[in-house]
Amino acid sequence: MTPRIKDILHTAPAEQLIEAQGWVRTCRDSGSLCFIEVTDGSCLAGLQVVAEPNLTNYESEVRRLSTGCAVKVCGRLMASPAKGQAVEVRAESLSVVGPADPESYPLQKKRHSVEFLRSISHLRPRTNSFGAVVRIRSELNFAIHRFFREQGFVQVHTPIITTSDCEGAGEMFTVTALTGEQLRQPEPFGQDFFGRRAGLTVSGQLQAEIFALSHGRVYTFGPTFRAENSNTARHLAEFWMLEPEMAFCDLACDMEIAEALIKDLIAAVLTNCAAELELFERFISKGLLHKLEAAQAQPFAGMSYTEAVDALQSSGRKFEFPVRWGEDLQSEHERFLCEELAGRPLIVTDYPKEIKPFYMRLNDDGKTVAAMDILVPGIGELVGGSQREERLDLLEGRMREAGLDLEEYSWYLDLRRFGSAPHAGFGLGFERLVQFVTGISNIRDVIPFPRTPGNAPC
């Protein structure tokens, strides 16, 4: 395979013959020379190619190159006299692999609105900003697996099709092989593919708990789905979720692992994606680098839910949603707490049991559960986790309160019947993490193919 442009740009110019392939970003004809910037997605910078009139196809193809054309270049790697680049290629041959009609190609060398780019999701990876997002996603993905491997975790692939609703919210997409007519029959799912109603998973947590209680430290990382008819900048119908589960781990241990993970991921991006972060600092979010460096360097702040409610009520701030003990914190509340009150990432603990799922461990006060959310500036909630309820009788009581069929969840209760142990875990929304490290405000702009109500283009 030919070398990537990222590697070529870091090669010492020794006038050696090299080959490069990619897409034309710009082509400038000075009259006696053509200066062509070629990119291949490996980095933010492009490779400058200098083409002279002695090329056999100079008039027929080279001078007519336009943005988006795919090309193959062979030439000498030379020191560049131009500012901002160490090397350039003096072309000895340049062939057009795939043309792009400039009259109809929708991307040009100018800034395009994010709304326009969402309408051409099949082409937006070729832009500087979205190309940088994709590289940062890749870096974060690799760093996640490295972190957990170094901490002795085992990766588990939990099912995408499930018959268990982890959140109890009823916002699952139904998976069925039945026809429309069959679905209109009384109790149709007994005749369906799985013999019961099934859906796309909202979380791999319950299945991950199975392996935490056999392998100690596990994590699952994959797509999750919510059939929530929401068109906000914070919600997607399909997104990626990271979910570790740890046996013999309490809430304090859970918070320690989550904070260490976030700091490690930020450090990886600061080290390996400096050019991409500089782009977002300049054009998307002023102060981004300082925010990331501060989050990576200092301990996260902490307070209980009750303390958070008291702080919000005494803040003198008028919020769109009223603040009352026993009700969930809204995004505006979360952002006030971490951005203005704490000035850094904040861990809020011990939420009322009524607003949290059945599997969270009941605290001794009987009113709150051993839960934690990590709130970060610009986003709000990034991580939600808890110590899981390991006591069979209390878990059964919480499930009855939630209206769940204990027989349907008998396998989950078996984990408490046979060798139960304290265990904890959390979920980290991957797209929200990408938002945090890039400063991008809309979650649809940090995932390759956003799935939202009425929108699934390719």
Return the pLDDT at 166. 62
Return the pLDDT at 417. 97
Q: Nearest CA to 399 among 369, 357, 355, 350? A: 357
- 15's torsion region: left (phi>0), alpha (psi -120 to 50) or beta? left
Return the pLDDT at 84. 79
Residue type at 351 in one-letter notation:
Y
CA distance 405 to 414: 14
Query: What's the rounded mean pLDDT across residues 91-111?
Result: 93
Q: Is residue 61's pLDDT more than 60?
A: yes
Query: What's the rounded mean pLDDT across residues 363-379?
Result: 97
With cut-offs at 50, 70 and 90, classify the pLDDT of residue 259: very high
- Roughly how many angstroms between the first and final C-alpha of the chain, as a whole number? 29
**pTM (2 decimals)?**
0.94
Choice among 12-16, 42-46, 151-155, 291-295 with the minimum mean pLDDT = 12-16
Residue with tokens 């392996």: 211
Q: What is the pLDDT of residues 161-184, one digit of tens each?
A: 998 866 555 589 999 999 999 999
Return the pLDDT at 379. 94
Query: What's the rounded mean pLDDT across residues 122-126?
Result: 95
Q: At what angle do helices 410-417 and 392-401 cross, to 10 degrees?
A: 160
Are 95 and 58 spatial neighbours (Cβ–Cβ below 8 Å)? Answer: no
Return the pLDDT at 11. 87
Return the pLDDT at 169. 52
Q: Is residue 270's pLDDT more than 70?
A: yes
Q: What is the pLDDT of residues 13-24, one digit of tens each?
A: 888 899 999 999
Choice among 81-95, 131-145, 273-287, 409-423 with the minimum mean pLDDT = 81-95
Return the pLDDT at 1. 86
Return the pLDDT at 108. 84
Query: What's the rounded mean pLDDT across residues 232-249?
Result: 94
Query: What's the rounded mean pLDDT across residues 29-42?
Result: 94
Share of the chain above pLDDT 70, in %: 99
Are 442 and 265 spatial neighbours (Cβ–Cβ below 8 Å)? Answer: no
Return the pLDDT at 457. 85
CA distance 451 to 458: 10
Per the DSSP assignment, residues forming a β-bridge with 223 are 240
With cut-offs at 50, 70 and 90, classify the pLDDT of residue 48: very high
Phi and psi at 127, nearest 5°, equal -80, 160
Q: Nearest CA to 284 among 162, 395, 442? A: 442
Helix (H, G, I), strand (E, B) or coil at 154: strand
Return the pLDDT at 135. 98
Q: Is residue 253's pLDDT more than 70?
A: yes
Please give the DSSP secondary-structure letter assigned to residue 2: P
With cut-offs at 50, 70 and 90, classify the pLDDT of residue 8: very high
Q: Is residue 160's pLDDT more than 80?
A: yes
Which H helix or E strand runs over 372? strand 368-376
Q: What is the pLDDT of residues 414-439, one digit of tens each?
A: 999 999 999 999 999 999 999 999 99
Q: What is the DSSP annotation of 93-149?
A: EEEEEE---TTT----SS---HHHHHTTTTTGGGSHHHHHHHHHHHHHHHHHHHHHH
Q: Is residue 101's pLDDT more than 80?
A: yes
